[in-house]
Amino acid sequence: MSASSSAKRHKSSHTSDTDASSELDNGSVVVGAKDSSSSSSIINLAAVYGTGDEWPFEGLCEHLALDLFDPNWEVRHGAALAFRDLLTVHANGAGKLVGLTRQENEQRHQSWLLDLSIRLTSLLALDRFSDFVGDSVVVPVRETAGMALGIVVKEMKSDFAIDVVEKGLLTLVKKGTHGTAQHSWAIRHAGLVGIKFWMAVRRDLVPKVINPDGVMDHVIQG
């Protein structure tokens, strides 16, 4: 082999390494860039999160969030029960990621709680399973969803917790009060169930929502 051929291969290899280094400097994720002093690969994963960085129950909760709207009431009930029991112990870590600042994790945590509160409020509004026993009625899905919602609200910031009542639960009570549909009573009842558990866990906020145009007025109408 000629000396010129060897020099050409060396130049080509040097050019390849230079291009890889340039991509790394620009912030790209580079796999396999090599320098002249080491044959090991360089992997820049500073901005990539794996499943090991998540809250350990993140995947389970994503599955349960879908089960909340399953056509079978047993599945909906089971998902609400799972959320209730899981969040009773582990709610503080919901939505958080390893490696983020406390402020970033708190923002993710509150967004996660708000998302679940919307799902649980939707379940309260949509569920129609009722078990009539004599003159009374048992609504296991709505009762359990209300319990789970109470646990979620307990972890929320005050303004988010108030929004759950004013923009969510009270809307259900008003809808049921003024509605003429066959199941309007069920919607009204669901809102009242949610308010019951909300008040049980956020006693500090009760004075802010009890006013002539607030909760008590609609509870009395309900």
At 189-199, the pLDDT tens digits run 899 999 999 99
* Residue 132, pLDDT score: 73
Above pLDDT 90, what percent of the chain? 47
* Residue 129, pLDDT score: 85
The dihedral formed by the CA atoms of 96, 102, 103 and 105, expressed in degrees to the nearest 10: 0
- How many distinct helices (H) and strands (E) make up the chain? 10, 4
* Residue 176, pLDDT score: 56
Q: Mean pLDDT score of the chain, rounded to an integer?
A: 78
Task: Report d(CA 107, CA 100) in Å as an integer.
Answer: 11
Domains and CATH numbers, the chain: 3-43 (no CATH), 52-221 (1.25.10)
At 87-132, the pLDDT tens digits run 999 999 999 999 899 999 999 999 999 999 999 999 999 998 887 7
Closest by CA position to 105, among listed 53, 45, 150: 53
> What is the per-residue DSSP string for 110-168?
HHHHHHHHHHHHHHHHH----EEETTEEE-HHHHHHHHHHHHHHHHS-HHHHHHIIIII
Closest by CA position to 58, among listed 23, 19, 90: 90
Instruction: Quote the tokens at residue 18.
Output: 């230079």
Tell me the average pLDDT across 10-37: 46
Half-sphere CA count of 78, side-chain side, radius 13 A: 11
More confident residue, 18 or 210: 210
Distances from the Cα of 20 to the Cα of 14, 32, 57, angstroms: 10, 8, 38
Q: Specify which of 31-35, 77-81, 91-95 reaches the highest per-range mean pLDDT.
A: 77-81
Evaluated on CA atoms 89, 58, 158, 161, the torsion sign reads: negative
pTM here? 0.70
